[in-house]
Structure 1
Amino acid sequence: MRLRLVPKETSFDFFSRWKMWLGLSALLMVVGFASFAIQGLNFGIDFRGGTTIRTESTQPVDVGTYRGAIEPLGLGDVSITEVFDPTFDEDEYVTMIRIQAQEGAESVTAEMVENVHAALKSVEPDIKFVSVESVGPKVSGELVQTAVLAVALAIGAVLVYIWLRFEWQFALGAVAALVHDVILTIGVFSELQIKFDLAIIAALLTIVGYSLNDTVVVFDRVRENLRKYKKKDLKEVLNLSINETLSRTVMTSVTTLLALISLYVLGGDVIRGFVFAMIWGVIVGTYSSVFVASTILLWLGVKRDWTKPSNTSGNQFANIDA
């Protein structure tokens, strides 16, 4: 007996309450914008500037012990990451300690570095500071601009790709879903004040790719069914296409979430923000593929006079049972 996450054949009407779904999305986007405008993002060291210290010791690293030793110094946001490299000796243990820029200074002062060194020596006597590097506010500002540009270019490339592969109505629907996903992700980070660093930018770009993949699968089936059922109303074709790909969509999302939840629980603080962004992105990406991208396509309409059949229409994984 095979386990199914959804029945083999479904006939849900995904557009019976399309105004409610679009209204919910619009409300969440407004809340995200308002939170961003009022309290902004809790930028990490990558975007605020600070000091990075590379340490070496001959004893295994205990990140919790290191953090406990530094915490009484009151340095604000401190990130401690153990570095792994196959070229290291057996008794060579390396960490990267990143300390946010202190108020009124571009970087941590030499005196404060000495205090950190002394604090860590109290728990690890043979620890050495191999290098100390500072990132000022100017460099951090450039990182913010580069990150925004990277996300904007990714969405722009998606617009062109979908436009060339399908029609402009499909392209606008897909991009609307991607913008929706990015805004809601940034909004939840602003609302919860979770640390926002370069890893979250990587998560945003991954979310864009995941959401696009889901949307293209649905749109491919829509295009195929538009040719197959030329007399059916567009709403019926969209409902049929989403139902036909629903099994694949649910299975992909659930299996991805299982892996991400495991990482969130067991992965530790270093990757928790990144994994949280991915979990949220998978949820809103799946939602937007069905209730945002397809609804925008229904609202815009699409031509029905294709005369040449597509050899690449449909998707070989669309009917996989979940």
Structure 2
Amino acid sequence: MADEKIYNFMGISKAALGLSLALIIISIVAIAYRGLSLGLDFTGGTLVEVQYEQAPSVPQIKQLLEQGGYQNFVVQKFGADTSILVRLQQGYSDEIGQEVLTTLRGGGQAVDLVRSEFVGAQVGEELREQGGLGLLLALGMIMIYISFRFQFKFAVGAVGALIHDVIITVGCFSVLQWDFDLNVLAAVLAVIGYSLNDTIVVSDRIRENFRRVRKESPTEIINISLTQTLSRTIVTGLTTLLVLVALYMFGGEALEGFSKALIIGIVVGTYSSIYVASSSLLMMGISKEDLMIPVKEGVEADDMP
């Protein structure tokens, strides 16, 4: 390793962990006191679908609804360019579809009402309960898997990194009061998968180097491992971010929250693989003895590969 430049990632691990702790505290406080700006999927409300003769301008439709006194609504194209879906966070009534239709006709275009229906909040309550239980079960299974594949200290670091990523990602939506709907929830779950994959790649290299490198300290071995995986991490992260930025810019309002959550999650997940999962190994006192291959009975240590 003498000819290869090794980056001292762990040299700022304490400062990085301090930053993570501060972001987690801010996120938890924001979620507790400000809450999330829950979308129609969680709060219930009214769906109004209208059909135009010619493709309308979505910004103009939003402006008409704002002028009509509507708040907390979502406007998106639904299938064809002439079909528009308006989602309103307010109770349903028989007249609401006609009221929205009258407001939209104020723009001067011919528009017809296709449907107007109520979406109950009970769906959101079930999703919150089942989603929370599913997330806890997934974290438990991840901890068991990594404990068997690597070592229990790796499992603690990996799960800690996942919790770190989820809290900060959701915290950003709370602090900025962005709409939190099912698309965002799906993105948060995707962040868990991405971050876990990145953490496992790093952990695999750390385990390999602990068994292969003889003289260096645990801190130096982790720095070596992170340096060796750095190019892979950068290429994977940048490639994914390019796709997500394209989704954010050209995917429309339906994919805006999804892409924003994933962009935040990938940046935070890449950071946590280095400064949460890896730093926690040092905090728990990882050593070469923890990762030694068990010697089978009757086999001399010198005969081990």
Structure 1 length-normalised TM: 0.83
Structure 1: how far apart are the matches of 2:11 and 2:109?
67
**Which residue among 100, 106, 124 is the counterpart of 2:89?**
100
* Structure 1 residue 110 displacement after superposition: 1.9
* Structure 1 residue 190 displacement after superposition: 0.9
What's the RMSD between the two structures over aligned residues? 2.2
What is the letter of the counterpart of residue 94 of structure 1?
A: S
* Structure 1 residue 253 displacement after superposition: 1.3
* Structure 1 residue 38 displacement after superposition: 1.5
* Structure 1 residue 9 displacement after superposition: 4.6
Correspondence list, 1:232-271, <5 A: 232-271=216-255
What is the letter of the counterpart of residue 16 of structure 2?
A: W
**Which residue among 17, 26, 39 is the counterpart of 1:44?**
39
**Which residue among 200, 203, 223 is the counterpart of 2:184?**
200
Alpha-carbon contact 2:207-2:291 (below 8 Å) kept: no
Structure 2: how far apart are the matches of 1:210 and 1:290?
14
What is residue 305 of structure 1 aligned with on the other side? 292
* Structure 1 residue 276 displacement after superposition: 1.4
Alpha-carbon contact 1:230-1:304 (below 8 Å) kept: no
What is residue 298 of structure 2 aligned with on the other side? none
Question: Among the aligned pairs, what percent are the same residue?
Answer: 39
Alpha-carbon contact 1:75-1:100 (below 8 Å) kept: no
Alpha-carbon contact 2:28-2:171 (below 8 Å) kept: yes
What is residue 54 of structure 1 aligned with on the other side? 49
What is residue 272 of structure 1 aligned with on the other side? 256
Correspondence list, 1:99-138, <5 A: 99-101=88-90, 107-123=91-107, 126-138=110-122
How many residues in Structure 1 have an aligned counterpart in Structure 2? Answer: 290
* Structure 1 residue 163 displacement after superposition: 2.0
- Match of 2:70, SS? coil
Alpha-carbon contact 2:98-2:113 (below 8 Å) kept: no
**Which residue among 66, 69, 74 is the counterpart of 1:79?**
74
Structure 2: how far apart are the matches of 1:72 and 1:109?
20
Alignment gaps of 5+ in structure 2: 296-305
- Match of 2:10, SS? coil
Structure 1: how far apart are the matches of 2:184 and 2:190?
10
- For 1:164-187, what per-residue CA distance to the aligned partner results, in whole angstroms no more than 9, with x for missing partners? 221111111110000000011111
Bigger proportion of residues as helix? 2
Structure 2: how far apart are the matches of 1:10 and 1:112?
66
Structure 1: how far apart are the matches of 2:130 and 2:68?
33
Correspondence list, 1:168-183, <5 A: 168-183=152-167
What is residue 27 of structure 2 aligned with on the other side? 32
Alignment gaps of 5+ in structure 1: 1-7, 86-91, 102-106, 309-322
